[in-house]
Structure 1
Amino acid sequence: MIAIVAPAPIGVPALAALLIGLAGFVAALLYVRFRRYRRGEAGAQVSSRSGHGIWLQGAGFFLVASGPLRPTLQAASAASVGQAVVVAVLVGACIGLFLSAATAMGSNWSFAARTRQDHDLVTWGPFATIRHPIYTGLFAMLLAMATAFGHWRGLILGLPLFAWGTWIRVVEEEALLHARFGRQYEAYAARVKRFLPRLF
């Protein structure tokens, strides 16, 4: 019980892996944000509730990141190196899913849920196997932060908020896509799972 309530011991390599990964994710986000070709925005249908989901997801990340750290593991120990490897894999998965999804979406990508006059139903790239790869990637980042910081209590508190915010965004995005593409979207949703290929 103490291990769940108190911060778990962590190693500096895991913190370094997380810091490098977060810098990489921010760089990827800025790259996608500023390279997106803005066209057809005048007739966009924008969700007003999507922003609430973003704030809830952010609150989940905040809870996971908050609290003291216990960097007591020896840097070269198996536990410390193992943590760093886990963090690097999770952060790499997040960045990879984000970049591949944003590339597939092209000018469809945006922070808030919306469809445009020339919106495409993207079913290629990572969308061929899951419908919301960016949220799967963000969940991987949440786990990476909990691992690097040793904040399992923060994960227990933050995960429900992250899941709630994600669900709000998913519902809003899928409603917009269904309204835009109708049966074409229904057929796509029937064969492709939301977050994990063939499972969930």
Structure 2
Amino acid sequence: MLALVHPEPTSLLALGAMAAAFIISLMALAITRSRSGKAPSVAEKKSRGSMLGVFVQMIGFAAVGFGPIVASLDPHSTLAISEAGVVAVLMAFTILLFFSASRAMGKNWSIVARTREDHQLVTWGPFAAIRHPIYTGLFAFMLAMAVAFGHWRGLILGVPLYWIGTWMRVSIEERMLRGQFGAAYDAYAARVKRFVPGVI
């Protein structure tokens, strides 16, 4: 991984912010999974192909996450405090997007792309601004890792891999949604961007 070549110095403050936010994100994931697991069993269509996209995204995260960490910055220094602040903001953004998106999706939420017989086209909450808020949030998570671990060089490989994997998943998900909702999804896609409001 490119992070192995030359990690930048970081601080225990930034690592602590990352660890705390990661624990909170795991709690949010557990809450989401328990809520979606209570949904009644109905006919659904799943795409196993989206798991390949998940795998490619994970390799992107590995490119940023793996490697030595040099926590040599004085935690009281301006740089260390700034890094911790950036990590906290990025992770708060990640958690907010994930939790609000999963709450809006309710029983529709799933790691693997799927549509249910009673599937709703969710266009409220963060989906009113972007069509794939969880992927935007996960990208912020990757940036937070790079800052916290001092693995900026890992982004050179991690970012392209993450977006390739994301595109693989998005193409499958959107094809399934178009198949189920037709013109309603086309109208939604025409007015709402995928990842950044009004941009892309």
1:132-143 pair list within 5 angstroms: 132-143=132-143
SS at match of 2:60: helix
Amino acid at match of 1:90: L
Shift of 1:22: 0.8
Contact persistence 2:4–2:68 (CA under 8 A): no
Shift of 1:40: 4.2
1:98-129 deviations in Å (ceiling 9; x for gaps):
00000000100011000000000000000000
Contact persistence 2:46–2:114 (CA under 8 A): yes
Match of 1:124 in 2: 124
Shift of 1:6: 1.2
Match of 2:63 in 1: 63
1:75-111 deviations in Å (ceiling 9; x for gaps):
0100000000000000000000000000000100011
Root-mean-square deviation (CA), in Å? 1.4
1:10-60 deviations in Å (ceiling 9; x for gaps):
11110000001111111111110011132243x211112110011111111
Contact persistence 1:4–1:152 (CA under 8 A): no
Contact persistence 1:40–1:117 (CA under 8 A): no
Match of 1:149 in 2: 149
Contact persistence 1:51–1:112 (CA under 8 A): yes
Amino acid at match of 1:39: P
Match of 2:76 in 1: 76
Contact persistence 2:93–2:140 (CA under 8 A): yes
Contact persistence 1:132–1:194 (CA under 8 A): yes
State the identity as a percent: 52
Match of 1:115 in 2: 115
SS at match of 1:71: coil
SS at match of 1:35: helix
Match of 1:38 in 2: 39
Contact persistence 2:52–2:165 (CA under 8 A): yes
Match of 2:193 in 1: 193
Shift of 1:156: 1.0
TM-score by length of 2: 0.95
Amino acid at match of 1:38: A
Match of 1:163 in 2: 163
Uncovered stretches (5+) of structure 2, i.e. residues with no partner = none
In structure 1, how many angstroms separate the alpha carbons of the residues matched to 2:61 and 2:17? 17
Contact persistence 1:98–1:133 (CA under 8 A): yes
In structure 2, how many angstroms separate the alpha carbons of the residues matched to 1:92 and 1:56? 24
In structure 1, how many angstroms separate the alpha carbons of the residues matched to 2:71 and 2:143? 18
Q: Which moved more, 1:115-124 or 1:44-53?
A: 44-53
In structure 1, how many angstroms separate the alpha carbons of the residues matched to 2:112 and 2:46? 7
Amino acid at match of 1:129: A
Contact persistence 2:35–2:106 (CA under 8 A): no
2:47 counterpart of 1:47? yes
Contact persistence 1:40–1:118 (CA under 8 A): no
